[in-house]
Amino acid sequence: MTTLAMDQAWGLSNLFSAFHSSGNDDVRPLSAGAGHSLPAAPPRRCRAIAVAGGKGGVGKSTVAVNLGMSLAMAGREVALLDADLGLANLDVLLGLQPSRHIGHLLDGSCSLGELMLPAPHGLKVIPAGSGARRLAQLDTREHAAVIRAFDELPDPPEFLIVDTAAGVADNVVMFAAAADDVVLVVCDEPASLTDAYALTKVLSRDFCVRRFHVVANMVRHAGEARQLYEKLARVCDRFLDVALDFMGAVPYDEHLRQAIRRQGAVVDLWPASRSARGFKQMAGAVDTWGEPLRTGRDRIAFFGGQVAMAPDPVREGGVR
């Protein structure tokens, strides 16, 4: 497990530079001499970040919306996928009126690009449809089809934030396992910690997910956030082969509730509020994460066509 020192390492300067980097590291030659062909541009890297937590009501959708919006406000290209199929609410949280949803993608009546709805600051939202029982009962093949649809996206974003449902069923774990990073949202309730642990266990044991970023939501002070993280880290460290780091804390904030009532993101409506500051710090931390730990040969991954999967050391018998 990573030590607490890891998250202490990102200081303000780091956050500041993270917010001001363009995210485009392409270095192109100024000119190419006659007879020299330009090197092929490296494929664009897209980072898929799943926001999960196991329990309902802990703030997964709130974190997904505000993390995505914070990145978009910092000039990054971001798409937000509502993967709470059948009980979707990102469109409601952002005051959007979708006419189509993931169900239309699956029945072939529209493309993924056509589903994307514009939200403030260039954020794009992929709605999932609410009240459609069929969407809540997709099988493995259909979940995989949704994930694979991202391979065909002609203009992929820099970040795909995936808002997942509650529980540990296929509709949650397949989307979380398909992402490069998993953010675990917890709050100060015993069931939140036990559900987050259960999800971590399933994802690590059955899907070889090895790294998790913990967000403590609705906290009253910084010490509470630390305690929550440490409680979860202690039990995961003892029983699971995973790395947990502390991504950040979001204070309990009335501004956030008011933003929800106004169908907007608190980082957009009240950027100086306590919760908005927490979200912006976390968005800055994303750039300090380093390369995604992609493992598992057979893994179905968002933008999986981009990189070869490394074999998982546990599955391959190298560890334990």
Ligand X SMILES: Nc1ncnc2c1ncn2[C@@H]1O[C@H](COP(=O)(O)OP(=O)(O)O)[C@@H](O)[C@H]1O
Identified binder of ligand X from the candidate list 66, 70, 192, 217, rule CB under 6 A: 217
For residues 269 and 258, what is the distance between their CA atoms, to the nearest angstrom?
9
Q: How far is the CB of 98 from ligand X (least distance, A)?
A: 18
**Nearest 5°: phi and psi at 294?**
-90, 120
Continuous segment of H or E residues that includes residue 83: strand 78-83
* Choice between 18 and 102, CB closer to Mg ion: 102
Taking residues 159 to 198 in sequence order and writing x for each that binds ligand X by CB under 6 A, - otherwise, the string is ----------------------------------------
Cβ of residue 122: shortest distance to ligand X, in angstroms? 22
Q: 46: how many CB neighbours lie within 10 A of its CB?
A: 18
User: Cβ of residue 172: shortest distance to Mg ion, in angstroms?
Assistant: 11
Reading the block at residue 168, the tokens are 């540990």
As measured in angstroms, the least distance from the Cβ of 276 to ligand X is 10
* Angle 94-100-106 from CA coordinates, rounded to 5°: 120
Of 134-142, 250-258, 281-289, 297-305: span binding ligand X (CB under 6 A): 250-258
Interface positions, 39-68, toward Mg ion (CB under 5 A): 60-61
Closer to ligand X by Cβ: residue 84 or 312: 84
Phi, psi of 117 (to 5 degrees): -105, 135
- Looking at the chain, list the stretches that DSSP marks H as alpha helix, in order from N- to C-terminal side: 4-8, 12-20, 60-73, 90-93, 102-106, 112-115, 133-136, 140-148, 170-177, 190-207, 222-239, 254-261, 266-269, 274-285
70 versus 275: smaller Cβ distance to ligand X: 275
196, 236, 214, 227: which is closest to 285 by C-alpha? Answer: 214
Q: Does 216 bind ligand X (CB under 6 A)?
A: no
CB 158 within 8 A of CB 123: no
Taking contact as CB under 6 A, which single stretch among the options 69-77, 195-203, 245-253, 290-298 is the one that binds ligand X? 245-253
Asked if 192 interacts with Mg ion (CB under 5 A), we say no
Residue among 264, 267, 204, 208 at smallest CA distance from 235 = 204
Which CB atom, from 180 or from 253, has the smaller least distance to ligand X?
A: 253
Site for ligand X in 51-70 (CB under 6 A): 53, 56-62
The number of residues that bind ligand X (CB under 6 A) is: 17
For ligand X, give the closer residue by CB, 56 or 271: 56
Q: How far is the CB of 111 from ligand X (least distance, A)?
A: 27
Which residues, numbered 96-115, are part of the site for ligand X (CB under 6 A)?
A: none
Q: How far apart are CA 248 and CA 125, in angstroms?
A: 24
Q: What is the 3-state secondary structure (H, E, C) of 102-169?
A: HHHHHCCCCCHHHHCEECHHHCEEECCCECCHHHHCCCHHHHHHHHHHHHHCCCCCCEEEEEECCCCC
Q: Which of 252, 271, 292, 293 binds ligand X (CB under 6 A)?
A: 252
The residue assigned the tokens 């979708």 is: 98
CB of 48 to Mg ion, least distance (A): 18
| Binding test (CB under 6 A) with ligand X, winner from 77, 82, 181, 253 | 253
Residue from 130, 273, 275, 295 binding ligand X (CB under 6 A): 275
SS (H, E, C) 48-72: EEEEECCCCCCCHHHHHHHHHHHHH
Residues lying near Mg ion in the complex (CB under 5 A) are found at 60-61
Which residues sit at the interface with ligand X, rule CB under 6 A?
A: 53, 56-62, 217-218, 250, 252-253, 256-257, 260, 275
